Amino acid sequence: MKAVILAGGFGTRFSEATGLIPKPMIEIGGKPILWHIMKIYSHYGITEFIICCGYKQYVIKEYFANYFHHNSDITVDLADNSIHVHDNHAEKWKVTMIDTGLNTMTGGRIKRVQKYVGNETFLLTYGDGVADIDISKSIESHQKSKAILTVTAYKPSGKFGALEIAEDNSVKAFLEKPDGDGNWINAGYFICEPEVFNYIRMNDDTVVFEKSPLESIAKDGKMNAYKHRGFWKPMDTLRDNVELNELWSKGNAPWKVW
């Protein structure tokens, strides 16, 4: 089973960093968040990846093309232009990186890699969110549902503490960051059947996957939800990146399941 990762956006909220690199290459603990996502999948035996590239795609391609150089000690012999890799830290991954266009929307990017996915079930996620999700259990949920798409659902906590205040202004209860509005949200980490491609128009890079395709699949009764109650965090802002790095540096990164 292959995992498709959307990694082509501009990451405009990260302009401090994305002027030089694409958002999925912003680091947590010295490794791109893209690498962390792939490590989550590979822990569950998913080792074949299709990366939907776009903005500054060459940075992603260079990283994996020179993976040894980035992750191992090397000796370069300038006399014969040879390179010796010490303590090989390679992953057993097969990584296909596809240029899905600079301004292409998520649906258009997914449609562009259809021929690389083939006629089989595939996994799909965004290149900027980490979780301690049990991939195997999400796949089991999908298979039992008979749906053509399973979305990982997550109920986020509120951003602020909540107060229960009586009429006399006395505080009856205080809850530190309770559940938000009670709604389950899309946390990515999809499992898809090839029929999903039928919901995305051909040769239309303006299709937003989260709009018409997902809305239509749900309307047709072909969508399943896998409820994830553990850790999930998208890296939307610089603050998110700082928080994720702090978790990693303190050895408290919940998504480090490997």
pLDDT over threshold 80, residue 219: yes
Q: Which pLDDT value is given to residue 174? A: 62
Distance CA 21, CA 62 (A): 11
pLDDT-derived band of residue 175, with 50, 70 and 90 as boundaries?
A: low
Distance CA 191, CA 218 (A): 14
What are the pLDDT digits (tens) for 71-82? 889 899 999 989
Task: Tell me which residue has tokens 């978790």.
Answer: 247
pTM of the model: 0.90
pLDDT over threshold 60, residue 50: yes
Q: Is the dihedral of CA 18, 19, 25, 26 positive or negative?
A: negative
Q: Which pLDDT value is given to residue 14? A: 82
What are the pLDDT digits (tens) for 159-169? 655 556 677 75
- What the chain holds in terms of domains, given with CATH numbers, is 2-155+184-249 (3.90.550.10)
Averaged pLDDT score across all residues of the chain: 92
Q: What is the mean pLDDT of residues 187-207?
A: 97
